[in-house]
């Protein structure tokens, strides 16, 4: 059981390393933009040829990873920062109205297909990179908030919370100190899967021309713009496409392997931390649910 | 039985609320335009005649609630307004793009269900062996890859290097069925993500169900393995998968837009992208309503089916 997981972890790490290093360190090694050459040529001093306006493809590749990765990271962080308080408050509040007020609008937002929402916004605002990050974050908030709420409700039903409440601990201490801390594992798992989804959306939106300049140095934009020259100079399309595939594939493999191990260890800790009477009670609870 | 009926009623109510919300959200699009909507839409050609034409076409002088009432009243009759760019009714755009998109979606779903379930059941029957490890790893890896990157690589390999398939559907118009070779790559790309997620879900559901007390009891009774697999375990693995099938609709919609752009198929996705590029707001709104309501209805259907399959979700799932 352990072997395939470690293998998958190593594989994920190896696959994601190349695009990630290129994305983060690429701009450091990039040279000043040289004179533009003829478009879609191969060789002639250009290692990977030239792109649709005659720029060096290798230089574009060095620059093009950073926007994808940074936008995705920003959107994921933002979505979590917004979803966390919404989910926590709606799980811990005793006012039903407040709970409905927080969660119902999100249910409705869930109904709109994600790419459609991005395209709708693009019609009106023509967003930049920041706008795209905000949009993608907004799309991810409903799902993340629901997950936070479910995890928080599970933690809030424990006797420890009752004890803290009876001791007159502050709401803050209860919500952040106990409930927030005890669902860190679930949240970490969610951030992992969410990042993969966000990478997908950010890259796809950039491919469709949302949130980027038409000649931007961005792997997804490169795939789109250089498609016309696919027959003349495939490297301008294949290299950025391969990098995006490696980035998304590697992220998914890596997080899956890492979290599978993590989940097991937290479960072990949980059973250790809980005393015998409580595990009995939780077993009774699960019996009752059946 | 009353539990079921109340679930159906609540779910229907949510569906209606979602439909109304989609319509309102799409309508709010014009209201969200910064400043004077007509000036904003004229964009690069801000000559007064064009601004005036846009103002008249969208009836921007009337109060918003009147326009909303008119627009919403027209929707059920298929009256979505007229395009700003061409002056043609939006319903014509929808009708033209509907065929290719429906064909793509039907083919994809028709292949998705058998392939996804087949792979999932195959993996679950051989847990831990080579077939399972192979299926699990590949589905996990492909699951997250954006369609456009995968699609472009497939074109490079199968159309450019090997020359087996046409690179795009250019020149075939809406007559795609007459050129099945042009459909292979688009459907393959569309299938990539949903198949992976469905196979993973079916596999997990089957493994859970096979480890459950009722499967053990059936084994003790001497029920044959085949029967336990297909008559007892599989139906219980279906419910979570049916719900996932609904979430797949969202991906299929995203996928259709990307795939149509990539393979130059004149479907609804292409119409939508063109309208977005031209800032042709009525067309964008019309298509958004079609896509949005379709999603709501399909989600509703999938939830009801999932509920029907496993009313006591939680036994095996």
Q: What angle do CA B282, B283, B287 make, to 5 degrees?
A: 120
The closest of B196, B314, B187, B181 to B262, measured between CA atoms, is B187
Mean pLDDT value across chain B = 78
Asked if residue B257 is part of any domain, the answer here is: yes
B199 is a domain residue: yes
Flag whether pLDDT at B203 surpasses 70. yes
The pTM (predicted TM-score) of the whole model is 0.81
Q: Cβ of B227 under 8 Å from any chain A Cβ?
A: no
Compute the distance between CA of residue B160 and CA of residue B75 in angstroms, rounded to an integer.
Answer: 45
Q: How confident is the model at residue A78 (pLDDT cuts 50, 70, 90)?
A: very high
A17 pLDDT band (50/70/90 cuts)? confident
Question: What's the gap in Å between the CA of B180 and the closest CA on chain A?
Answer: 23
pLDDT (0 to 100) of residue B315: 38
Residue range B157-171: average pLDDT?
77
Phi-psi region of A170 (alpha: psi -120 to 50; beta: other; left: phi over 0): beta
Pick B55 or A270 by higher pLDDT: B55
Is residue B118 situated within a structural domain? yes
CATH classification of the domain holding B98: 1.10.3720.10
Distance of CA A196 to the CA centre of its chain: 5
pLDDT digits (tens, 9 = 90+) for B265-311: 888 888 888 888 887 888 888 888 888 888 888 888 877 777 776 65
Whole-angstrom distance, CA of residue B210 vs CA of residue B128: 15
In this structure, is residue B7 part of a structural domain? Answer: no
Residue of A281, A217, A181, A253 whose CA lies nearest to A51? A217
Question: Higher model confidence: residue A15 or residue A34?
Answer: A15
Q: Indicate whether B99 belongs to any domain.
A: yes
Chain A partners of B296 at a C-beta cutoff of 8 Å? Answer: 111
Binned at pLDDT 50, 70 and 90, residue B2 comes out as: low
- Whole-number Cα distances in Å, B173 to A19, A289, B176: 38, 56, 7
The pLDDT value given to residue A287: 33
The average pLDDT across A281-287 equals 34
B36-to-B43, B46, B61, B203, B275 alpha-carbon distances in Å: 11, 12, 11, 55, 20
Domains with residue ranges and CATH for chain A: 67-239 (1.10.3720.10)
Tell me the C-alpha distance between B238 and A145, whole Å: 27
- Cβ-based contacts under 8 A for chains A and B: 137
Please give the pLDDT value at position A74: 92
Q: Is residue B314's pLDDT more than 60?
A: no
For residue B95, the distance in angstroms to the closest alpha carbon of chain A comes to 19
Question: What's the pLDDT at A270?
Answer: 40
Give residue A75's pLDDT band: very low, low, confident or very high (50, 70, 90): very high
State the Cα–Cα distance between residues A233 and B298, nearest whole angstrom.
42
* pLDDT tens figures, A166-175: 888 887 888 8
For residue B275, which residues of chain A lie inside 8 Å, CB to CB?
A: 123
DSSP character at residue A179: I
Q: Is the pLDDT of residue B157 over 80?
A: yes
In a domain, B215, yes or no: yes
Selected residue of B12, B84, B152 to mutate for chain A interface (largest A Cβ count, 10 A): B152
- What's residue B167's pLDDT? 75
Structure-model confidence comparison of residues A261 and A42, the more confident one = A42
Over 70: is that where the pLDDT of B316 sits?
Answer: no
pLDDT given for residue A23 in this prediction: 82
Cβ separation of B21 and A208 shorter than 8 Å?
no
Torsion of CA A259, A265, A270, A276, to 10 degrees: 140
3-state secondary structure of B82: strand
Cβ contact, residue pair B160, A230, below 8 Å: yes
**Whose structure tokens read 């997250």?**
B144
Contacts of B273 in chain A (CB under 8 A): 119, 208
- pLDDT tops 80 at residue B59: no
Round to whole Å and give the CA distance between B235 and B117.
Answer: 11
What is the chain A residue with the closest CA to B298? A111
Burial status of residue A131 (CB atoms within 10 A of its CB: 0-12, 13-18, 19 or more): middle
Query: Measured between beta carbons, which residues in chain B are less than 8 angstroms from residue A227?
Result: 152, 262
pLDDT at B221: 84
- pLDDT at B1 (0 to 100): 46
Which long-range contacts link A27-30 to residues 24+ away (Cβ below 8 Å)? A27/A62, A27/A63, A27/A66, A29/A62, A30/A59, A30/A62, A30/A63
How many other C-beta atoms can be found within 10 angstroms of the C-beta atom of residue B224?
10
Domain span at residue B172? 93-277
Scanning chain B, the segments in alpha helix (DSSP H) are 2-31, 37-42, 48-57, 64-74, 90-125, 130-142, 147-154, 180-210, 213-220, 225-227, 234-263, 268-278, 281-309
Mean pLDDT score across all residues of chain A: 77
Task: Determine the distance in angstroms separating the CA of A269 from the nearest CA of chain B, rounded to an integer.
Answer: 23
Percent of chain B whose predicted confidence (pLDDT) is above 90: 0
Residues A220 and A203: beta-carbon distance below 8 Å: yes
Asked if B21 is an interface residue toward chain A (Cβ–Cβ < 8 A), one would say yes
- CB contact at 8 A, B194 and B248: yes
What does the pLDDT read at residue B4? Answer: 59
So what's the pLDDT on residue B113?
Answer: 84
Domain membership of residue B306 (yes or no) is no
What pLDDT digit, counting tens, does each position of A91-102 carry? Answer: 877 777 777 777
Coil, helix or strand at residue B44: coil
B12 located within any domain: no
Structure confidence at residue A282 (pLDDT):
36
Which residue of A lies nearest to B254 if distances are taken between CA atoms?
A115
Choose among A111, A113, A248: nearest Cβ to B146.
A248
Tell how far CA B9 is from the center of its chain: 25
Residues A58/A48, Cβ–Cβ less than 8 Å:
yes
Residue A197 has pLDDT above 70, yes or no: yes
Domain count for chain B: 1
Pairwise pLDDT comparison (B83 vs A195), residue with the higher score: A195
pLDDT tens digit sequence for B14-43 = 888 888 888 888 888 777 766 666 666 666
State residue B5's pLDDT score.
67
Segment A127-167, tens digit of pLDDT: 888 888 998 898 888 888 888 888 888 887 888 888 888 88
Listed range (A68-72, A112-116, A134-138, B257-261) with the worst mean pLDDT? A112-116
CB B301 within 8 A of CB B293: no
For an interface test with B, give the residue of A103, A116, A244, A252 to mutate (most B CBs within 10 A): A116
Which pLDDT belongs to residue A271? 38
Assign A232 to helix, strand or coil.
coil
């Amino acid at each position: 059981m352990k072997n395939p997981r470690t293998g998958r972890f190593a594989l994920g790490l190896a696959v994601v390393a190349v695009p990630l290093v290129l994305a983060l360190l690429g701009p450091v090694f990039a040279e000043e933009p040289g004179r533009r050459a003829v478009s879609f040529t191969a060789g002639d001093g250009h290692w990977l040829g030239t792109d649709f306006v005659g720029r060096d493809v290798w230089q574009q590749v060095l620059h093009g990873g950073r926007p994808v990765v940074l936008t995705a990271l920003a959107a994921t962080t933002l979505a979590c920062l917004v979803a966390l308080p919404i989910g926590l408050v709606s799980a811990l509040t005793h006012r039903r109205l407040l709970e409905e007020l927080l969660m119902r609008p999100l249910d409705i937002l869930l109904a709109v297909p994600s790419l459609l929402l991005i395209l709708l916004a693009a019609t009106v605002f023509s967003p930049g990179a920041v706008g795209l990050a905000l949009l993608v974050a907004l799309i991810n908030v409903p799902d993340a908030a629901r997950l936070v709420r479910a995890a928080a409700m599970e933690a809030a039903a424990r006797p420890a919370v009752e004890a803290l409440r009876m001791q007159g601990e502050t709401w803050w201490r209860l919500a952040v100190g106990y409930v927030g801390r005890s669902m860190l594992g679930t949240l970490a798992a969610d951030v992992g899967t969410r990042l993969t989804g966000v990478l997908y959306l950010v890259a796809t939106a950039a491919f469709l021309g949302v949130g980027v300049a038409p000649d931007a140095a961005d792997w997804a934009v490169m795939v789109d713009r250089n498609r016309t020259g696919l027959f003349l100079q495939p490297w301008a399309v294949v290299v950025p496409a391969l990098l995006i595939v490696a980035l998304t594939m590697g992220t998914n493999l890596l997080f899956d392997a890492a979290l599978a191990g993590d989940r097991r260890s937290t479960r072990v800790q949980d059973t250790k931390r809980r005393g015998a009477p409580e595990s009995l009670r939780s077993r009774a609870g699960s019996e009752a649910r059946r | 039985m009353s539990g079921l009926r109340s679930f159906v009623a609540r779910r229907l109510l949510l569906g209606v609320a979602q439909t109304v919300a989609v319509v309102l959200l799409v309508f709010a699009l014009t209201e969200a335009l910064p400043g004077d909507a007509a000036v904003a839409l004229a964009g690069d050609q801000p000559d007064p005649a064009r601004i005036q034409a846009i103002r008249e076409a969208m009836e921007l002088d009337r109060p918003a609630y009147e326009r909303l009432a008119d627009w919403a009243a027209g929707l059920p009759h298929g009256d979505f307004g007229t395009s700003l760019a061409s002056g043609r009714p939006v319903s014509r755009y929808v009708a033209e793009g509907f065929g290719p998109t429906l064909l793509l979606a039907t083919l994809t779903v028709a292949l998705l269900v058998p392939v996804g379930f087949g792979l999932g059941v195959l993996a679950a029957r051989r847990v831990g062996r080579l077939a399972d490890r192979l299926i699990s790893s590949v589905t996990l890896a492909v699951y997250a890859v954006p369609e456009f990157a995968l699609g472009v690589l497939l074109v490079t390999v199968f159309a450019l290097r090997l020359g087996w398939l046409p690179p795009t559907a250019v020149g075939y118009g809406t007559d795609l069925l007459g050129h099945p070779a042009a459909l292979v790559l688009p459907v393959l790309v569309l299938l990539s993500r949903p198949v992976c997620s469905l196979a993973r879900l079916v596999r997990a559901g089957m493994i859970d169900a096979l480890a459950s007390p009722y499967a053990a009891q059936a084994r003790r009774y001497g029920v044959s393995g085949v029967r336990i697999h297909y008559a007892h375990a599989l139906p219980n693995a279906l419910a979570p998968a049916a719900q996932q099938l609904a979430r797949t609709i969202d991906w299929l919609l995203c996928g259709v837009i990307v795939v149509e752009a990539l393979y130059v198929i004149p479907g609804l996705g292409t119409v939508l992208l063109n309208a977005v590029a031209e800032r042709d707001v009525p067309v964008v709104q019309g298509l958004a309503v079609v896509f949005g309501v379709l999603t709501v209805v399909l989600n509703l259907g999938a939830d009801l089916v999932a509920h029907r399959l496993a009313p006591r979700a939680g036994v095996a799932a």
